[in-house]
Amino acid sequence: MHDRPGLIGRMWYDAAYWASWGAFTFGFSYRGIGRGNVPKRGPVLIVSNHQSMFDPMLVGLSCPRYLTFLARKTLFEVPLLGPLIESLGSVPIDRGMGKDGIQAVLDRLTHGRAVLVFPEGERTHSGDVQPLKPGISLLIKRLNCPIVAVGIAGAFTAWNRFTIIPNFSPLLVPAEQSTIGVSIGKPIDPARYKGSSRDEMLADLQNEIQKQVVEAEALRRK
């Protein structure tokens, strides 16, 4: 295993990257900051709030590295989709990221990957950052790599779990409420959480994500 996908995975990833750049820049007035905060090499755990089905693409678009995504095990069984996400080096997990999922993430990090996790566990129902699932604390306690918090703003209005068709805000017309911003924070040393209780760790990490959501909100085209 290497620190990025194989050739086929990179081809799919690069194609999706540029397609996402065009779609989100011109369709949702996307803006992003903080790319330089993501370490260029070595393992890194990226944690983001989860507003929309757009979120994996938005974080991938905002980061300068090939990301490893988590995907439900059942998706690997879907024709065409399964081989695609497998070629990207995605991590198969059960809902809630149990012991096997945590170990799979650690294995990817051991090989220098940049792994994206949504610690809320599901898309928000309100647009606000929801309490983080306890599983992320078990993962962080075993980490020996930087943690980078990401905030997404506007994606909930653009396409939340209650809407079927996305609400566009094209770049070349007056801005709608569905413009999107993404902010990436500075790396966090996991040693920061040494001696912290689970609740303290979860609260602090949620606060770091919320800070980036505020930055992303300020970045959005108005």
* Chain segment 116-136, per-residue pLDDT in tens: 999 998 999 999 999 999 999
Listed by start position, the domains of the chain span 7-219
pLDDT of residue 96: 63
Confidence of residue 9 (pLDDT cuts 50, 70, 90): confident
Q: pLDDT of 39-94, one tens digit each?
A: 999 999 999 999 999 999 999 999 999 999 988 888 788 887 788 788 777 888 87
The pLDDT value recorded for residue 187 is 99
Of residues 96 and 138, more confidence is placed in 138
What pLDDT does 76 receive? Answer: 85
pLDDT per residue as tens digits for the range 154-176:
999 999 999 999 999 999 999 99
Residues 17 and 66: beta-carbon distance below 8 Å: no
Question: What six digits make up the tokens of 174?
Answer: 């007056």
Question: Is CATH 3.40.1130.10 what the domain over 7-219 is classified as, yes or no?
Answer: yes
pLDDT score for 113: 96
Which of the four pLDDT bands, split at 50, 70 and 90, describes residue 95? low
On the question of pLDDT at 151 being above 80, the answer is yes
The pLDDT value given to residue 45: 98
Section 186-213 average pLDDT: 97
Give per-residue pLDDT as tens, 15-39.
999 999 999 999 999 999 999 999 9
Amino acid symbol at 103? Q
pLDDT value, residue 84? 78
The predicted structure's pLDDT at residue 93? 83
